[in-house]
Amino acid sequence: MKVAVASAGNTLDSPVDPRFGRCAWFVIVDTDTMNLEAVPNPAAGAAGGAGIQAAQALLSRGVQAVIAGQVGPNAFQVLSTAGVRVLPFGGGSVKDAVDAFTAGQLTEAAAPTGPAHMGMVPGDSTPGFPSGGMGPGWGMGRGGGRGRGRGRRGW
Amino acid sequence: MKISVASGKGGTGKTMVAVGLAVAAESAVLVDCDAEAPNCHIFLRKGDPEVHEVFVPVPQVDASRCSLCGACAQACRFNALAVAGGKVILFDKLCHGCGVCTAVCPSGAVQEVKRKVGVVEVDEDGSLVVVTGRLDVGEATPVPVIKAAKRLAPSAGITIVDCAPGTSCAVVEAVKDSDLCLLVTEPTPFGLHDLRMAADTLAELEIPAAVVVNRSDGEDAGVREFCRTRGLAIAAELPVDRRAAESYAVGKHPSLEHEEWRRAFRRLLCTVTRTASGREC
């Protein structure tokens, strides 16, 4: 079975990304052969509908199960319609996630595990929902210096 | 002559200025393009408006003709379509109604149907016509409603367009095709910060702009300095006036209550007319 793990990096040691739609990589492991393939998430920088695009990309690769910190409602709809199992897993590496999966320790989600747009704002958290994403900042540093030069009389 | 009223910062007095100009004109069309929170009509309390529903096209897939090839989902730049489990799933809130899915479908399985996103109310009462765009709650973009409001507005000697705050698509759509855009600001760091963004947006759109300072303290140092460096004219400095706040608090426009305010807006209208059309008034 092909399992895709949302990941911050492209190796087995990379941490599982809490976001599905906007994770950097999907590490896809075939649990029968233990073949491993890392593909960049084509939706990581999408303006909107990232979860949908990411889910579609995984379907085209024949993925049958998805492991991520959280999966939002739109992505969940695409994945569950296609019969793909959604397995939440937080706080570990890709290898930890795959090990837990093969050991049968992961529970399939029956509903979306996070709110829509969760991956869009760093640290956004809605009351009642688990705390959210770790995306790249959107700031545009504009701070100035502190002006500590010393004036000197004359030129 | 089309004058838009925008600001950057919310709460600076766009609606007050837009309504003031419309009232000062002998006859005018006022288009409220702040479709997420339209409220020009509160000042004007008109009668029974004519209501037009606004629709956007969304795709509908004929399953009997669809080959599940996925061309539609792949072509959609808004990711509003997905092919999964032997069917096409539409996320209609993401759809911008561009029609590319219909165009690319090799089997002719996609047709467009209408989805309602809001209404335009046209309130015509004598010399002042108020056109209000009103987006349905939960909709993602007001742009189709703004387009419809502008389209349904009757042509007039003077059209005033009240915009939403900010600098997003909603504002760009509303200010488009203006002869002049008034940027309403207030003499605070917040007003100035957002005025800069709004001025940059208009410069990008190549729309002439002038500034109205509302709740002016008479000095407005930061705003004046900014306008000088950017070559922006200050069309009016409207003073802090308790009477204006009191009128506003009960939903009345100060120019309908106080002679000084009526004259102030009359003067502003003349300045605007001169700047936008070169005509005297």
Task: Tell me, yes or no, if the pTM score tops 0.80.
Answer: no
Return the amino acid letter for A71: V
| A118 band by pLDDT with thresholds 50, 70 and 90 | low
Whether residue A72 lies inside any domain: the answer is no
If phi over 0 gives left and psi between -120 and 50 gives alpha, with beta otherwise, what is residue B8?
left
Residues of B in contact with A47 (CB under 8 A): 78
Pick from A48, A50, A82: CB nearest B84: A82
Rounded to the nearest angstrom, the minimum Cα separation between A144 and chain B is 16
CATH 3.40.50.300 positions along chain B are 2-54+118-277
CATH 3.30.70.20 positions along chain B are 56-116
Do A55 and B83 make contact, defined as CB atoms within 8 angstroms? no
Which of A5-19, A136-150, B135-149, B156-170 is predicted least confidently? Answer: A136-150
Please give the structure tokens belonging to residue B72. 């539609």
B143 three-class SS: helix
| B281 band by pLDDT with thresholds 50, 70 and 90 | confident
Judged against a pLDDT cut of 80, whether residue A136 lies above it is answered with no
Whether residue A18 lies inside any domain: the answer is yes
Helices and strands per DSSP (H, E), number in chain B: 10, 11
Given the cut 0.95, state whether the ipTM is greater than it.
no
Residues of A in contact with B94 (CB under 8 A): 48-49, 52
CB-based contact B165:B7 (threshold 8 Å)? yes
Instruction: Please report, for residues A1, A79, A139, A140, B268, the alpha-carbon distance to residue A28 in angstroms, rounded to integers and kept in the order given.
Output: 10, 15, 32, 34, 65
Residues of A in contact with B141 (CB under 8 A): none
How many CB pairs below 8 A link A and B? 42
Burial B133-152 (b: 16+ CB within 10 A, else e): bbbeeebebbbbbbbbbbeb
Q: What is B56-116's CATH number, 3.40.50.1370, 3.30.470.20, 3.30.70.20, 3.40.50.880?
A: 3.30.70.20
Residues of A in contact with B78 (CB under 8 A): 47-49
The CATH architecture one would assign to domain B2-54+118-277 is 3-Layer(aba) Sandwich (3.40)
Do A78 and B82 make contact, defined as CB atoms within 8 angstroms? yes
pLDDT tens digits, residue range A77-107?
999 999 999 999 988 999 999 999 999 999 9
Do A78 and B73 make contact, defined as CB atoms within 8 angstroms? no
Please give the structure tokens belonging to residue A127. 């009351």
**Residue A107: how many other CB atoms lie within 10 Å:** 9
Which of A10-24, A122-136, B235-249 is predicted least confidently? Answer: A122-136
A89 three-class SS: coil
Going by C-alpha positions, the residue among B3, B5, B19, B6 that lies closest to residue B248 is B19
Judged against a pLDDT cut of 60, whether residue B86 lies above it is answered with yes
Going by C-alpha positions, the residue among B95, B111, B114 that lies closest to residue B103 is B111
Contacts of B100 (CB under 8 A, 6+ apart): B72, B75, B76, B77
Residues 52-91 of A with CB under 8 A from B: 52-53, 55-56, 59-60, 74, 77-79, 81-83
Whether residue A49 lies inside any domain: the answer is yes
Best A20, A56, A63, A66 residue to mutate vs chain B (most B CBs within 10 Å): A56
Range of the domain at A33: 1-64
Judged against a pLDDT cut of 80, whether residue A145 lies above it is answered with no
Which of A120-124, B169-173, B221-225 is predicted least confidently? Answer: A120-124
Going by C-alpha positions, the residue among A31, A90, A86, A89 that lies closest to residue A58 is A86
Q: How many domains does chain A have?
A: 1
Best B79, B87, B98, B196 residue to mutate vs chain A (most A CBs within 10 Å): B79
Distance CA B161, CA A140 (A): 32
Distance CA A16, CA A6 (A): 6
CATH number at residue A32: 3.30.420.130
**Which chain B residue lies closest to A48 (C-alpha atoms)?**
B78
